[in-house]
Amino acid sequence: MTAHFVNDPAALVPEALDGLIGGAGPGRLARLDGYPDIKVVLRADWDRADQGRDRVAVVSGGGAGHEPAHAGFVGPGLLTAAVSGEVFASPSVDAVLAALLAVTGEAGCLLVVKNYTGDRLNFGLAAERARAAGLRVEMVVVGDDIAIPDTPAPRGLAGTLLVHKVAGALAQSGAPLDHVAGAARRVAAGVRSLGISTSGADIPGRRSEQRFVDGSAELGLGIHGEPGVETFALGRDAEIVDRMAAALTDALPDGGDSGAAGGDVVLLLNTLGGLAPLEALVVVCDLLATPLGQRARLLIGPAALMTSMSMRGFSVSALAVDDELARALLANCAAWTAWPGARELGSHDRLRVLPVPTLREAGKVLASEDTAVRAVLTAVTGALIEAEQALNALDAKVGDGDTGSTFAAAARRVLSELDALPLADRSALFARLSELLGSAMGGSSGVLLSILFAAAGSAGSAGSVGSAGSAGSVGSAGSAGSVGSAGSVGSAGDDAPLADALAAGADAVQRHGGAGEGDRTMLDALLPAVRALRDGGAAAAAAAARSGADATGSMEQARAGRAAYVGGQHLRGVVDPGAEAVAIAFTAAATHR
Amino acid sequence: MTAHFVNDPAALVPEALDGLIGGAGPGRLARLDGYPDIKVVLRADWDRADQGRDRVAVVSGGGAGHEPAHAGFVGPGLLTAAVSGEVFASPSVDAVLAALLAVTGEAGCLLVVKNYTGDRLNFGLAAERARAAGLRVEMVVVGDDIAIPDTPAPRGLAGTLLVHKVAGALAQSGAPLDHVAGAARRVAAGVRSLGISTSGADIPGRRSEQRFVDGSAELGLGIHGEPGVETFALGRDAEIVDRMAAALTDALPDGGDSGAAGGDVVLLLNTLGGLAPLEALVVVCDLLATPLGQRARLLIGPAALMTSMSMRGFSVSALAVDDELARALLANCAAWTAWPGARELGSHDRLRVLPVPTLREAGKVLASEDTAVRAVLTAVTGALIEAEQALNALDAKVGDGDTGSTFAAAARRVLSELDALPLADRSALFARLSELLGSAMGGSSGVLLSILFAAAGSAGSAGSVGSAGSAGSVGSAGSAGSVGSAGSVGSAGDDAPLADALAAGADAVQRHGGAGEGDRTMLDALLPAVRALRDGGAAAAAAAARSGADATGSMEQARAGRAAYVGGQHLRGVVDPGAEAVAIAFTAAATHR
């Protein structure tokens, strides 16, 4: 049996309604003191002279399991009260009558009922009793389902919500009962709905619905687990949605072309409780592309409004709208209700030019010459290419054996671009190296080296300072322990010396990569080298990198990179290939100065 | 493989984003023209002088499959742009950089990233590149998951949305980058989240997650189908929620007691895409009852905000709030986004007295005498009791054989109350009979007879008139063909003759029951009898009822009641038991006049 987040199934509905009432906050919702038999949620402000009683009350309800319908729609501009039964079971006559007696004032009450025999009879008898008690009660029954052709009693589906919204908006505006009821009947007469699902409705405490075969869907099913009128293997969403839209169009009175609307329709996309929001958006995309969608003036949803527990499906409701209905559907209602609002559609420019020129500018380079820099780059890249096999062999012991090839590939790429590089402009050079390494090197090591040079290149721009201190601080406002505070770098401006630039780069690598010194990564060679470089120059940096790399051989716990999955006994005595590559690079740079 | 509402899985995300953009309506959302590689949704109004550029941009994103996160939160007061990858896959560096370049103005940009290696590296490199291009970019990484103890890299979950909201509200208010980033870091530093689910995340085009056993749940799982840290058979929801709330409280910095908030917290209840809304409300009920819930100043949700396709689970996020954070969380943002709004909690009177006295009043009776009426009631009830076995035998041929007992039980109840009935006040008498029949008779026949007398009793009250013409008209504004227009009855006032009263009652039976003359029900005797009564009196009514009942024997198609499931060959020659009962009643009434 499917697991459900419930306590005692018998207390399921009262607890859910209490969650709704408590979660709504003070002064919004209340309930009649009649649990467990009478489950009526009503507006807490309805007795206020400026809010209720003198206005028409709008009451609806039905079985539970369709949340947020109906109690989730109780609020100013929508329902005055909602009567809930147990899961998929009609509320009792007494419960409905209690709701009517509790909220109906001189202005009367509109009772909105979905067309199921139990609801019709219980709500109907309650209405007759309320009238016998002298209340003015109008009742409208909604049967918007088009799944079963020529049925004398079409089911009430999500289209009922459009009746609620229109009636609620008019009632809130102070319209008299006959006007509210008349508009509600217009909506009930005009709205059509069709549903589809790829799963049944699992009810807490009952066996799961095993009717559905993987990959299959049912079209035209109800909201109580009733089987659909057609079962098939689900194909492309666009085809299904086209079929549903066409069926709805055919079922609309006069094809929806009646009235001042001139064919305008409102579409309501209701999800049944378990449909992934990602899929619901695909349905919107396909729905708006249909002829019916092209006629849509208003869209409501996608949203879970009239659900069937956690069914993985949706229903589409369509209604021809004129200006009065559109106004009522667009009217404000209590923002804390489950009403998602209606959105006016229309063609608009949805594309923005990709900032490609700016992207290029970000990496724009003007070649320039600096023989010393050229010598260093030539030496470093040469050394890394020469070390390819050795580094691969080293990596083979603790990883997947490609560190040498990864660095060599990057080195070859840099060599091939040497004449096009802005050798005389360190910031531009580092920015360009960042791009080359990012594209030429695979895996996270490529991204990390790309980050290193990008940060080194931009060291000194105000933007990078604040963020340098913070970006990496997961769940903490500080950035303690970052190498050579980038803040001091930034303040030093673009002429920051090489060491400070590399320090900013190493800092960024730590921030974004999440590793630090001692974690058995390239940082164990890089960080000491950068520190030494500032005070002792290239030779000291090379020596520091070398000893730092060698030290990784005695680190038996890797905290980052693929080696993190390797046991200490395998790591013992093996130098980290990344750190070794860094040592090779600094050594080459120093000896060829 | 589970069926999904998609087209080409490769086009899934672009189609979903187009659905979001198209469904939002003109002037709200746009996208960068970079499909399929670059999937960036941004505010369509961002280039307007009064809207964007001069304000801090807030950009976030990550893999798809978490909708409405992140593109669903793009709008004034929330995100300026969202970058989407493929399902559960980080967007590319170029995509993030394109977003940054597209929306970042002089005021700079805050980049909000969930703490996953891919996101950290790609968003991080994009940020460094953007800085290298001269943009002011701050980045905050959110790792709010507490599932895995002592992990150096906690995952980013729904708590990220609180960072979005606070940063978005401050940015919209015109706050400078350092202020926006500082507040975002406070939220990131303080928010904690924990998730639970009873199902995995089904991804379109991939095999379903079969990890979950029916009835089991996983606590502390991620939003990409990562297994939870603990699997167990799901017990009472209150116990699970208590555990989660306690764990969150322990994980809050200083237990959430820090700051001016004095222990106030905001709770965010995020559903993972497939949780039944009914269950989500139970979780709210249980959550608000925990010690943490008692401290909640603000509640956000339940709502599907950071989903994992259609996982049947939820996550709870907690954050200590002071007034500044509360203001930012309560601040208005674009109503058409997926943001559900925050609600201020507090104790309030949630109960309304059940209108029991009024209920009684509805059925209040003062006994009164009318010998003629007493004679008729005695005769009718006597005849029905006498006919019990005969009617049962008749019903046995076409139904479940209890029609006689049903009517006899009602008759006995009426007889037993005879001395207490308001025999001299027809309206009161009918209202009381409605109650007696409704409680003494089982099934829909009891409700329908109760409706008959309730409507007959209230015939003449304005309330019942308008509705009489409409309540039953499913999906149609008219009420053509109803017996003896109730309108004419109502206008006649409370002294309407018996025939008109019964006509109103019969009309109500048709409306609420949905059956009409010729459908092989009691109406086939009742309607002719009521018509005859007005012109010809009791004798004519009895004759009409008799012939009407007899005529049902030749009706081979029942359109209502249990007989509707019986084949014509079984119905041939058998009189409908309900119609027969009506004929017996009218005959008794006439002969004993």
Q: Give me the interface pTM, i.e. the ipTM.
A: 0.86
Local confidence band at B354 (pLDDT 50, 70, 90 cut-offs):
confident
Quick one: pLDDT at residue A566? 66
Q: With beta carbons under 8 A apart, name residues in chain A contacting B444.
A: 117, 121
Q: Is the pLDDT of residue A482 over 50?
A: no
Cα(B384)–Cα(A128) distance, rounded to whole angstroms? Answer: 25
Contact state of A451 with B128 under an 8 Å Cβ cutoff: yes
Quick one: pLDDT at residue B489? 29
Indicate if the alpha-carbon torsion angle A193, A199, A204, A208 is positive or negative. Answer: positive
Contact state of A131 with B1 under an 8 Å Cβ cutoff: no
Given the residues B66, B70, B164, B224, the one annotated as active site: B224
Q: With beta carbons under 8 A apart, name residues in chain A contacting B117.
A: 444, 514
What DSSP character marks residue B68? Answer: T
Chain-centroid distance, C-alpha B192:
30
Indicate if the alpha-carbon torsion angle A516, A521, A524, A526 is positive or negative. Answer: negative
Distance spanning both ends of chain B, measured CA to CA? 73
Going from the C-alpha of B307 to that of each of B50, B139, B200, B333, B475, the distances in angstroms are 33, 23, 12, 21, 37
Q: With beta carbons under 8 A apart, name residues in chain B contacting A343.
A: 23-25, 336
Contact state of B25 with A299 under an 8 Å Cβ cutoff: yes
Contact state of B101 with A471 under an 8 Å Cβ cutoff: no
Q: For the beta carbon of residue B108, count every other beta carbon within 10 angstroms.
A: 23
- pLDDT tens for residues A404-434? 988 998 999 999 999 999 999 888 899 889 9
Q: With beta carbons under 8 A apart, name residues in chain A contacting B335.
A: 335, 341
More confident residue, B493 or B90: B90
Q: Is the pLDDT of residue A557 over 90?
A: no
Phi, then psi, of A390 in degrees rounded to 5: -60, -45
- pLDDT tens for residues A506-544? 999 998 888 889 999 999 999 999 999 988 899 999 999
B164 belongs to the catalytic site: no
Q: If you measure CA to CA, which chain B residue comes closest to A449?
A: B125
Q: Testing the interface with A: which of B282, B315, B476 to mutate, by most A Cβ within 10 A?
A: B282
Contact state of B141 with A471 under an 8 Å Cβ cutoff: yes
Q: Give the gap in angstroms from C-alpha A25 to the nearest C-alpha of chain B.
A: 4
Report strand pairing: B192-197 vs B313-320.
antiparallel
Closest listed residue to residue A433, CA positions, set A357, A505, A339: A505
Burial-class residue B581 by CB neighbours within 10 Å (0-12, 13-18, 19+): buried
Q: With beta carbons under 8 A apart, name residues in chain B contacting A2.
A: 198, 214-215, 312
Q: Give the gap in angstroms from C-alpha B290 to the nearest C-alpha of chain A.
A: 13
Q: With beta carbons under 8 A apart, name residues in chain A contacting B280.
A: 5, 19, 67
Q: Testing the interface with A: which of B128, B141, B364, B451 to mutate, by most A Cβ within 10 A?
A: B128
For residues A48-77, average pLDDT: 92
Local confidence band at A479 (pLDDT 50, 70, 90 cut-offs):
very low
Contact state of A21 with B350 under an 8 Å Cβ cutoff: yes
Cα(A207)–Cα(A2) distance, rounded to whole angstroms? Answer: 7
Contact state of A132 with B434 under an 8 Å Cβ cutoff: yes
Angle in degrees, CA B385, B387, B393, rounded to 5: 125
The answer, yes or no, to whether the previous bond of B149 is cis (omega within 30 of 0) is no
Rounded to 10°, the helix B371-386/B388-398 angle is 50
Q: With beta carbons under 8 A apart, name residues in chain B contacting A216.
A: 3
Contact state of B22 with A284 under an 8 Å Cβ cutoff: yes
Cα(A566)–Cα(A559) distance, rounded to whole angstroms? Answer: 10
Quick one: pLDDT at residue B555? 87
Cα(B63)–Cα(B61) distance, rounded to whole angstroms? Answer: 7
Contact state of A343 with B336 under an 8 Å Cβ cutoff: yes
- pLDDT tens for residues A84-110? 999 998 999 999 999 999 999 999 999
Q: Is the pLDDT of residue B381 over 70?
A: yes
Residue type at A66 in one-letter notation: H
Phi, then psi, of A216 in degrees rounded to 5: -100, 160
Q: Left, alpha or beta for A60 (phi > 0: left; psi -120 to 50: alpha)?
A: beta
Asked which of A133-142, A297-306, A570-579, B542-551 is least confident by mean pLDDT, the reply is A570-579
Cα(A249)–Cα(A26) distance, rounded to whole angstroms? Answer: 44
Q: Which two tokens stand for residue B505?
A: 């009652």
C-beta of residue B530 within 8 angstroms of C-beta of residue B568: no
Choose the closest CB to B217 out of A3, A128, A309: A3
- Residue A530's SS3 state is helix
Local confidence band at A222 (pLDDT 50, 70, 90 cut-offs):
confident
Q: Give the gap in angstroms from C-alpha A5 to the nearest C-alpha of chain B.
A: 5
Choose the closest CB to B98 out of A2, A19, A355: A355
Contact state of B335 with A336 under an 8 Å Cβ cutoff: no
Quick one: pLDDT at residue A365? 64
Contact state of A22 with B285 under an 8 Å Cβ cutoff: yes
Q: Give the gap in angstroms from C-alpha B591 to the nearest C-alpha of chain A.
A: 30
Q: Is the pLDDT of residue B358 over 50?
A: yes
Q: Supply the residues of A annotated as catalytic.
A: 224
Find where tokens 């969650």 sit. A19
Choose the closest CB to B7 out of A19, A130, A282: A282
Q: With beta carbons under 8 A apart, name residues in chain A contacting B102.
A: 352, 354-355
Cα(B131)–Cα(A458) distance, rounded to whole angstroms? Answer: 6
Closest listed residue to residue A582, CA positions, set A542, A554, A551: A542
Quick one: pLDDT at residue B481? 35
Q: Give the gap in angstroms from C-alpha B554 to the nearest C-alpha of chain A.
A: 22
Contact state of A512 with B458 under an 8 Å Cβ cutoff: no
SS3 content of chain B, % helix, strand, coil (to 5): 50, 15, 35
Q: For the beta carbon of residue A503, count every other beta carbon within 10 angstroms.
A: 28
pTM: 0.86
Choose the closest CB to A135 out of B12, B431, B463: B463
Going from the C-alpha of A338 to that of each of A165, A228, B330, B419, the distances in angstroms are 12, 27, 17, 52
Local confidence band at B357 (pLDDT 50, 70, 90 cut-offs):
low
Q: With beta carbons under 8 A apart, name residues in chain B contacting A455.
A: 128, 131
Rounded to 10°, the helix A498-513/A426-440 angle is 30
Helices (H), B133-236: 160-172, 177-190
Cα(A304)–Cα(B554) distance, rounded to whole angstroms? Answer: 49
Q: Left, alpha or beta for B53 (phi > 0: left; psi -120 to 50: alpha)?
A: left
Q: For the beta carbon of residue B40, count every other beta carbon within 10 angstroms.
A: 30
Q: Which two tokens stand for residue A528?
A: 């000491």
Q: Give the gap in angstroms from C-alpha B128 to the nearest C-alpha of chain A.
A: 6
Q: Give the gap in angstroms from C-alpha A254 to the nearest C-alpha of chain B.
A: 13
What are the residues whose beta carbons fall under 8 Å from the beta carbon of A409, sequence distance 6 or more?
A440, A441, A442
Chain-centroid distance, C-alpha B256:
34
What DSSP character marks residue B343? Answer: E
Local confidence band at B569 (pLDDT 50, 70, 90 cut-offs):
confident
Angle in degrees, CA A205, A210, A214, rounded to 5: 135
Q: With beta carbons under 8 A apart, name residues in chain B contacting A349.
A: 30, 44
Contact state of B5 with A304 under an 8 Å Cβ cutoff: no
Q: Give the gap in angstroms from C-alpha B440 to the nearest C-alpha of chain A.
A: 14
Q: For the beta carbon of residue B415, count every other beta carbon within 10 angstroms.
A: 16
Contact state of B15 with A286 under an 8 Å Cβ cutoff: yes
- pLDDT tens for residues A137-164? 999 999 999 998 878 789 999 999 999 9
C-beta of residue B451 within 8 angstroms of C-beta of residue A125: yes
Q: Which two tokens stand for residue A546?
A: 């070398």
DSSP assignment of B525-547: HHHHHHHHHHHHHHHHHHHHHHH
* Pairs of CB atoms within 8 A across A/B: 553
Quick one: pLDDT at residue A218? 92
